[in-house]
Amino acid sequence: MVFMVCTDLPDPTHLRQGKPVTGARQRWEQAVAGWKTQLEGTADIEVELLGSGELLERLLAPGNEGRMWFFFQQRALGA
């Protein structure tokens, strides 16, 4: 199962009240681990997250012009 998001999940680079902040990427990994243990039959499902860089790479691949139109309603990203 692949989730594509148009942003990148940042890792924290700071402390809050002297404690490390849990980053969005770490919260995502924790959520996936929770799904795999709490939901029956999901332990063998591979869950992948593609961020903005991977999404852009796929949109720019030859043959994906229609997908670019779907998302941006115009020729976009230099295509």
pLDDT at 57: 87
CA nearest to 9, candidates 50, 46, 43: 50
- 7-66: pLDDT as tens digits: 888 887 778 888 888 889 899 999 999 999 999 998 889 999 998 888 888 888 888 878
Strand 2-4 and strand 48-50: pairing?
Answer: parallel
- Model pTM above 0.75: no
Burial status of residue 68 (CB atoms within 10 A of its CB: 0-12, 13-18, 19 or more): middle
Q: Where are the domains of the chain?
A: 2-52
